[in-house]
Amino acid sequence: MELSKILAPQAVKVVASTSSKKRLLHDLSDLAFVAYGLPAAETVEALMERETLGPTGVGNGVALPHARLPGVESVVGAFILLEKPIDFNSIDRQPVDLAFALFAPEDAGVEHLKALALVSRTLRDASVCAKLRANPDAATIYAILTEAQSVQAA
């Protein structure tokens, strides 16, 4: 599995600031609508429902919100770099500025987990996160994410 197969270039965005975790989930849902045609209202509802099970802020400024949705044919992602970090109830209590959302089919068992593991591994790399934070340009961020994953695989 490759990030370039999950993440479309138009599903990457830099946001100057957002007011809350809920607003960030809305922004990710809007991005998924633009990039993949996923219904934004259902998408944000699914993300917020998943958050009630436990926050998806995994630490070091990274959040990995994810949800299963009807009508999704394969696992897809959306990435937002926040220029101003926000509280996300992360496990390390650090504010989040890197958010990678995953949207999977309702019946995507292993594929969903493989995608989540891939994104998690990529964003656990401190050098990748540093590059993402230093390059607030969507096209550059897409290149960093997809290049980082292929380098890790080698």
Catalytic site positions = 66
Say how many CA atoms lie within 13 Å of 48 toward its Cβ: 15
Q: State how far the Cα of 71 lies from the Cα of 38, in Å rounded to an integer.
A: 8
Backbone angles phi, psi at 107, to 5 degrees: -100, 15
77: left (phi over 0), alpha (psi -120 to 50) or beta: beta
